Structure 1
Amino acid sequence: MSNYTTKAAVVEAGGSPFTLSSIELDEPRADEVLVRMTAAGLCHTDLGVASGGLPFPLPGVLGHEGAGVVEAVGSAVTRVSPGDRVLLSFTSCGDCANCRDGHPAYCATWLPLNLLGGVRADGSPTITRDGAQLGGHFFGQSSFSELALVDERSVVKLADDAPLEKLAPLGCGVQTGVGAVWNVLQPRPGDSVVVLGAGAVGLSAVMAAALTPATTIVAVDKVSSRLDLARELGATHVIEAGDDLTARIQEATGGGASGLVETTGNVGVLRAGVDALAARGTAVIVGAPPFGTEVALDVNGMLGGKRVVGLTLGDSETQRLIPVLAELVAQGRLPVERLITEYPFADIEKAVEDMTGGTTIKPVLRF
C-alpha cells in the first residue's frame, strides 16, 4: 500500500506544544480526498484539545479550519476534482435523521467522527508515524499538515480564484458565529442582538447581525481594542465586561435583549446574559466550558417565554452556507480579513501564544 509522507504539527501529549514532525498519510479511500493545504485557521477548540482538556488521542494532528487545493480523490468522490480549491469543515455520517434533515452538525456520530475519536468511523487510522498510529481525522481533516486526508463530506468546493488564506476561518469560527444569528436568532426588524465575547466567533456574529434588520447590536468584551473593532464591524453599542452586566445589557437594549450569543464559555457571563433577555428572548450558547460544567438559571425568570438554545458549528448545512459566506467575503460585505493575522506554518507556536495572549483574534497559518 502506498502512503504519502508529509510534515505536520503534532501535539505529543496534553499540554505539549505543537512541533513539526514527519508523518505518513494513508491512501485516500473511496470517499476521501487528498488536499494540499494553503492555509489553516487556529481555533480555541484546537487549543482545548492540545491542552489535554478533551479526550482526543494524543500524540495527534489537529486543525479544523483548512483551505487548500485537491491533489487526489478517492474512486467514489463526485464533489471535487484534482486542482479544485476547497474549504474544509466538519464531517458527518450523511445518513442519520439529523444529517438527512439538513442538520449535519447534530449528526448522531458527530462527537466520535469530529472531536474525540481520532480515527475513521471504522476505527482505522488516517495518520501514522514510523508505523505507530497518531490521532487524526480531526473534524474529518486534521489540517495542521502540509497534506491532509479529508472526508468528502468535509470538503466544500470554492471558486478557482478564491483567496484561501482569507476564507480558511469560514469552516468553523465564522460559520459558528454567523449561524447563531442567521439560523437560530433570525432577527426581525427592530430586534436587538447582544454578543458576549468579541473574539473570532463573536465578531462573526456581529458581522452577521449587521446583515440583518436588527437595529441594536451590542458587543461585550473586556478588551477595549476588540470593542473598537466590533464597532467598525457593525456594533451599535459596546460594553466593557464587568459588574452589573445584566443591567447594562438591559439598558443598551431598551429593557432586554431579543437575542443573545454567548461565546465566552464563562457560566457567570451566560447567566448574566440569560437574565438580561427580554420576554420571549433567546440566548444561544456557543462557548464551550470544560465537560461537565453546569449553570443555574432563575426558573421564574424563564417563564416569560425565554429560550436557551445550545449550538454546534452554527447548525449549518456546510454545502449551502459556506459558498454564500465566501461570496459575501468577495463582495466585501463580510470582512473576515479584519480578524485575521497570518503566520508561516512553522510559527504555529507563536500563533498559539498570540491567540492565548489576546493580541491576535484569528491566526491563519500559511503553508
Structure 2
Amino acid sequence: MKIKAALVKEKNLPLVIEDIEIDEPKEDEVLIRIVASGICHTDAESIKGNGAPFPAVLGHEGAGIVEKVGSTVTNISVGDHVVLSYSYCNACSQCLTGHHNLCVRTVELNFGGKMQDHTYRLHKDGQAYSTFFGQSSFATYAVANKHNVVKVDRNVDLKLLGPLGCGIQTGSGTVMNSLHPEPGTSIAIYGSGAVGLSAVMAANLLGLKDIIVVDIHENRLELAKELGATHALNSKNLNVVEEIKKITDGGVHYAIETTGVPVVIKNAIDALRVAGKISIVGMGGDVTLNFTNDILMEGKTIVGTIQGDSTPQIHIPKIIQYYKEGKFPFDKLVKFYDFNAINQAFEDSKTGITIKPIVVIDEQFS
C-alpha cells in the first residue's frame, strides 16, 4: 500500500515527505492509520545518526486508528483508538518479570530498523527503509507488533495522546514506577521539558511535600509551578545545591535528572540527602565522582530508568484516566503542527519555543 512518510535519508538532513510503500501486517501485527505523532528528543538524536540506520522513517509517539489486525491479534480490533509505544519481545527474562522497558532485545527492536521477525515493512523503489521503535509514526500509516499497541479511551482527543507513548510515560513513570516516593517527601527535578514536567505532575499527584524544579528558562519554570512545583529554581542565578539543601533542611529524598548535562548530574547527586535516591533519565556523558564521599558514605542510590519502568498497556490508560479527572493536565505541554511543518516543529522543540510538538498527520483531525 502506498503511504506518505517523513524520510530521513542521511545524517543531519531535514526530513522529506514522500510516497513510499508499506507491507501488509503479519499475523502478530497491526496496521494503524496515524492521526498524529509527538516529536521527542530521541527522534532528534536519530536525525544526527544516533538511532536507526538510514534511510529511515522516524516517529515513536504515534496515535491512530486500527485498520487491520493479524490472525493472532486478539486484544486489538479494527476501529480501536490506540497509542503506539516502544517495542519489546514479551519473551525474555526481563519481559516475563514485568520489566518490558529492559527487554534484552531493546536496542535491536527499537533502533535496529527491522521488525521482530528481522524483516522490513517499509520500501521505496526496491530499497528497504528502517522502522523506528517498531512503529515509524511520521507517516500516514504504520505497521506495528501487537506489543507496541495500547488501546485507549475513544472519548479522549486522539491527536493529543501520542506523547504518552514515550516522553510523558518516561517522566510520570519514573516517579510512579521507579522511585515510588512516599507522600510528604521531597523531590528535585532537573530540566522542565516534557519529561521533567510530566514528573512534576506525577509528584504532585502522589502528594509530595517539596517538588523542586531546576531549569534555566523562566517560562518553563512558571509552567512547572502551575503544574504543581512548590519551588522553581533558575540555575543561572544561584547555587542549586545550597538552595535545595536550605529548602529541604539537608537535601531531597529523591531526584530525577532529565538533561544529561554532566555538571547538572553531579549537582543532582550532591543535593540528595543521606540515603537519597536519584533516577538518571537524560542521555549524558562522563561524570566525575568520588565514589566514597559522594555515594558510599552517604548511602545514596543512583539508578538509570528507561521509559519510566512502565509497561505501556498498564501505565498509559492510567495516565489518561488521571487526565480525564483533571489530575494530570499534560495538554498544557503540547502545540500542534501540520505534517508538512514537521521540520519547523523539530526546530521549535530544539530552541525551546515548544515543549512537546505534535504533528497532525490525518487532516480530518486538524
TM-score range, shorter chain: over 0.9
SS of 2:133's partner is helix
Range that drifts further, 244-253 or 301-310: 244-253
1:163 paired to 2:160? no
How far apart are the structure 2 equivalents of 1:63 and 1:232?
29
Partners of 2:22 and 2:287 in 1: CA distance: 42
2:253 to 244, 255, 258: 258
Mapped partners of 1:253, 1:9: distance in 2: 47
Give the corresponding residue for 1:73.
69
Aligned length: 358
Q: Distance in 2 between matches of 1:259 and 1:117?
A: 34
Deviation at 1:331, TM superposition (A): 1.5
Task: Give the deviation of 1:55 after TM superposition.
Answer: 4.7
Which residue number in structure 2 is paired with residue 31 of structure 1?
A: 28
User: Which letter does structure 2 place at the counterpart of 1:66?
Assistant: G
1:217 aligned onto 2:230: no
Give the 3 Å change call, closer, same or farther, for CA 325–258 of structure 1 in structure 2. same
SS for the counterpart of 2:161 is helix
Structure 2 CA distance for aligned equivalents of residues 364 and 27 of structure 1: 26
Measured after TM superposition, the shift of residue 253 of structure 1 is 2.3
| TM-score using structure 2 length | 0.96
Structure 1 runs of 4+ aligned residues shifted over 3 Å read none
Q: Which residue of 1 aligns with 2:7?
A: 10
Query: For 2:336, what is the secondary structure of its paired residue?
Result: strand
1:130 positional shift: 1.1
> Of 245, 253, 272, which aligns to 1:277?
272
List alignment gaps of at least 5 residues for structure 2: 362-366
**Aligned match of 1:298:** 290
- Residue of structure 2 in register with 1:244 after alignment: 239
Give the Cα–Cα distance (whole angstroms) in 2 for the partners of residues 73 and 200 of structure 1. 32
- Kindly state the Cα deviation for residue 103 of structure 1 after the two structures are TM-superposed: 0.7
Give the one of 138, 141, 147 matched to 2:141.
Answer: 147
TM-score (norm 1): 0.96
2:90 and 2:118 mapped to 1: Cα distance? 18
**Is the contact between residue 45 and residue 51 of structure 2 (CA under 8 Å) also seen in structure 1?**
no
The yes-or-no answer on 1:205 pairing with 2:199 is: yes
| Match of residue 364 from structure 2 | none
**Partner Cα separation in structure 2 for residue 31 and residue 249 of structure 1:** 50
Look up the match of 1:112. Answer: 108
CA distance in 1, matches of 2:89, 2:195: 25
Displacement of 1:264 after TM fit?
0.4
SS in 2 for 1:15: coil
Shift of 1:216: 0.2
Number of the residue aligned with 1:101: 97
1:173 to 156, 167, 176: 167
1:75-94, aligned counterparts within 5 Å? 75-94=71-90
Map of 1:262-341 to 2, 5 A cutoff? 262-289=257-284, 293-299=285-291, 300-303=293-296, 304-341=298-335
Q: Which runs of 5+ in 1 are unaligned?
A: none
Alignment of 1:134 onto 2:129: yes
Cα distance, 1:47 vs structure 2: 0.2
1:293-321 residue CA offsets vs partner (Å, 9 max, x unmatched)? 32122222212110000010001011111
Question: Does the 8 Å contact 1:198/1:226 carry over to 2?
Answer: yes
CA distance in 2, matches of 1:342, 1:102: 34
**Alignment check: 8 A CA contact 1:166 1:336 kept:** no
Q: Say what the alpha-carbon RMSD is for the aligned residues.
A: 1.1
